[in-house]
Homo-oligomer: A and B are copies of this chain.
Amino acid sequence: MPLTGKNTIASEVSAEGAEVFYSIDPRSKTTGDLPFHNATRNEVDRAVVAAVAAFQEIRGYPSSKIADFLTEVAAQIETLGDDLLHTADRETGLGLPRLTGERARTTGQIRAFANLLREGAYLRAIINTEQPGQPAIKQMQFPVGPVAVFAASNFPFAFAVAGGDSASALAAGCPIVVKAHPGHPATSELFAGAINAAVAAKGFPAGTFSLLQGNGIDVGQWLVAHDGIEAVGFTGSLRGGRAIYDAASRRPRPIPVYAEMGSVNPVVITQAALAKRSEEIADGLVASVTMGTGQFCTNPGLILLEDSEATRDFIASVSEKMDAAPTGILLNEAIAAGLQSAVSETAAHAQIEVLAGAEAIADSDFFCYRNTVMQTTAAAIRADDRLQVEHFGPVTLFALCADINDLRATIDALEGNLTSTVHAEEAELESIGDLLHQLREKAGRVIWNGFPTGVAVVHAMQHGGPYPATTAPGTTSVGMNAIYRFMRPIAFQNVPDALLPRALQDANPLGILRLVDDVYTDGAI
């Protein structure tokens, strides 16, 4: 099916507005031919109204029916074939190997949610049977209603139209209205086609899914302000996420915003680790910083070390390797401009020394920025929050600590992050514990002797963290628990078995694990 450049509202294409924008190939900075139509306020309204209507049906669906739908979405994405990969590569410059892997991750996590639904314990069924003076109370998780999803630029598959937010919201039983990222509108339209095909194949209501295009802030603001939206999933910048959070908080009826907004992902490297694995750590760090041209929210952007000759040698080595590493392609002009602006501001700071890069490449055919290494002191980090700003690209900042107390005071002064990392040796296990737990308070995931890039899509994953990493540190946007952002518990008091969802019926017809009178069991009552 040829691309239309239009929005998709409840399975119908729509282009009411006159404002258009174009896809740009970051490898050549050339503009595509197809105009993409910014959604109008009326189109936003139509999409949400359709989602509200769809929810009236979907909310009654059993988990198994939603699981079948998700499985079909994954299959339909695969049916898009190489066209999807090539389209996304043209729009993002991420390359076919990466995109092939990301596609597998995307369909994999959709199928993982389908499996979660079929297994059933995710409903968190809790039952207290009737006792003298106490009614029977039975609760489980239900979908919250229509969800607005804001797609990210840096993962055109895994955090976009059919990415983790969409998969978890659909798995929860919520219709979704997706605001596509303007960096990859054609890719977004392909995904819309796949989801709509699954909607049709499984007989879901058309309003289950809508896609809104837009290269400004209006579409997102209209969407979040719409009374029919019950929750928001967002992946992107701190500025964008905070604007969405503020809009949702100011509504007459506020709604939760689950915004994952990136972070500097502090890495602590002990002297013992340097003594033993300096070269290996340097190689790993450079690979992690430059992977995907540094355009990961888990990019290691702040490295804390005690000052020493070994540390200076290590930093010099990293700087050389960064300088020698190939210049990567940035996703789009906005990211290139934002990176240049952020690095320039940091580099101009009196306490910052530039060791590599920190300059744009003016005559490049593709969007890019030089791999950059900067250095400062731990005291400077503590004295100025601006040195904790994320540089979204192949950039890292070393902070030298005078001693362990300086290091620990600096960790205490860190803002919230998605991850924190320690490189240390087995011999340090006894002494490092406190520091590890201190780092824990600043992040959603703590990594030992590894690097933060690469987020395993497993049940135990926590991809979140204190603000400004996210607006909701109790939740995750990766892994199975992402579903709970879009569900809420409802309890039934003395409601007859015949009126209860099967998950709460006495016979436990689904055979799921339930907490019955404070004991976990998959038996009947």
Interface size on A, residues (CB 8 A): 76
Which residue of B is nearest A467, CB measured?
B253
Chain B residue numbers with a CB within 8 Å of A476 are: 489
- Asked if A481 and B492 make an inter-chain contact with CB atoms under 8 angstroms apart, the answer reads no
Known: A137-B458, A253-B468, A447-B493. A499 touches B440 (CB 8 A): no
- Asked if B449 and A490 make an inter-chain contact with CB atoms under 8 angstroms apart, the answer reads no
Chain B residue numbers with a CB within 8 Å of A429 are: 496, 498-499
Interface pick from A23-31, A120-128, A161-169, A205-213: A120-128
- Asked if A446 and B489 make an inter-chain contact with CB atoms under 8 angstroms apart, the answer reads no
- Asked if A446 and B256 make an inter-chain contact with CB atoms under 8 angstroms apart, the answer reads no
Complex Cα distance A128/B429, Å? 22
Which one of B142, B426, B443 contacts A440 once the chains associate, using CB atoms below 8 Å? B142
Tell yes or no: A437 within 8 A of B by CB: yes
- Asked if A490 and B443 make an inter-chain contact with CB atoms under 8 angstroms apart, the answer reads yes
Known: A437-B59, A460-B128, A461-B137. A449 touches B494 (CB 8 A): yes
Complex Cα distance A468/B251, Å? 12
- Asked if B458 and A134 make an inter-chain contact with CB atoms under 8 angstroms apart, the answer reads yes
- Nearest-neighbour CB distance to chain B for A307, whole angstroms, equals 25
- Asked if A436 and B137 make an inter-chain contact with CB atoms under 8 angstroms apart, the answer reads no
- Asked if A448 and B493 make an inter-chain contact with CB atoms under 8 angstroms apart, the answer reads yes
Tell yes or no: A225 within 8 A of B by CB: no
Q: Which interface residue of A127, A138, A447 has the most chain B CB atoms within 10 A?
A: A447
Chain B residue numbers with a CB within 8 Å of A255 are: 467
Which one of B60, B139, B426 contacts A462 once the chains associate, using CB atoms below 8 Å? B139
- Asked if A495 and B459 make an inter-chain contact with CB atoms under 8 angstroms apart, the answer reads no
Tell yes or no: A135 within 8 A of B by CB: yes
| Residue interface bits A468-488, CB-to-B below 8 A is 1, else 0 | 100111101000010011011
- Nearest-neighbour CB distance to chain B for A466, whole angstroms, equals 8
| Residue interface bits A329-364, CB-to-B below 8 A is 1, else 0 | 000000000000000000000000000000000000
Known: A142-B440, A446-B492. A499 touches B467 (CB 8 A): no
Complex Cα distance A499/B484, Å? 29
- Nearest-neighbour CB distance to chain B for A58, whole angstroms, equals 12
Complex Cα distance A446/B137, Å? 10
- Asked if B491 and A433 make an inter-chain contact with CB atoms under 8 angstroms apart, the answer reads no
Complex Cα distance A437/B490, Å? 11
- Asked if B520 and A447 make an inter-chain contact with CB atoms under 8 angstroms apart, the answer reads no
Give residues 221-252 of A contacting B (CB, 8 Å): 230, 245-246, 249-250
Chain B residue numbers with a CB within 8 Å of A426 are: 496
Complex Cα distance A147/B499, Å? 39
Tell yes or no: A266 within 8 A of B by CB: no
- Asked if A492 and B445 make an inter-chain contact with CB atoms under 8 angstroms apart, the answer reads yes
Tell yes or no: A197 within 8 A of B by CB: no
| Residue interface bits A395-411, CB-to-B below 8 A is 1, else 0 | 00000000000000000
Q: Which interface residue of A490, A494, A520 has the most chain B CB atoms within 10 A?
A: A490
Complex Cα distance A334/B448, Å? 56
- Nearest-neighbour CB distance to chain B for A272, whole angstroms, equals 14
Complex Cα distance A127/B462, Å? 11
Complex Cα distance A257/B170, Å? 26
- Nearest-neighbour CB distance to chain B for A55, whole angstroms, equals 9
Complex Cα distance A448/B250, Å? 35
Give residues 43-78 of A contacting B (CB, 8 Å): 59-60
Which one of B144, B249, B450, B459 contacts A494 once the chains associate, using CB atoms below 8 Å? B450
Known: A426-B496, A499-B429, A520-B520. A491 touches B448 (CB 8 A): no
Please give me the 6 A-B residue pairs with the lowest Cβ-Cβ distance, nearest first. A462-B491, A249-B249, A128-B458, A137-B460, A126-B460, A448-B495
Q: A134-B456, A445-B493 are in contact. List 11 more A-B contacts (CB 8 A).
A: A135-B456, A137-B458, A230-B466, A445-B490, A445-B491, A445-B492, A462-B491, A464-B489, A474-B488, A476-B489, A520-B520
24 A–B contact pairs at CB < 8 A? A127-B460, A128-B456, A128-B460, A128-B461, A139-B460, A144-B473, A253-B415, A432-B499, A436-B499, A440-B490, A444-B490, A444-B491, A446-B491, A447-B494, A447-B495, A448-B492, A448-B495, A448-B499, A449-B494, A461-B491, A462-B490, A466-B488, A474-B488, A520-B520
Q: Name A residues whose Cβ lies closer than 8 Å to a Cβ of B.
A: 59-60, 119, 121, 126-128, 134-135, 137-139, 142, 144-145, 230, 245-246, 249-250, 253-256, 415-416, 426, 429, 432-433, 436-437, 440-441, 443-450, 456, 458-462, 464, 466-468, 471-474, 476, 481, 484-485, 487-496, 498-499, 513, 515, 518, 520
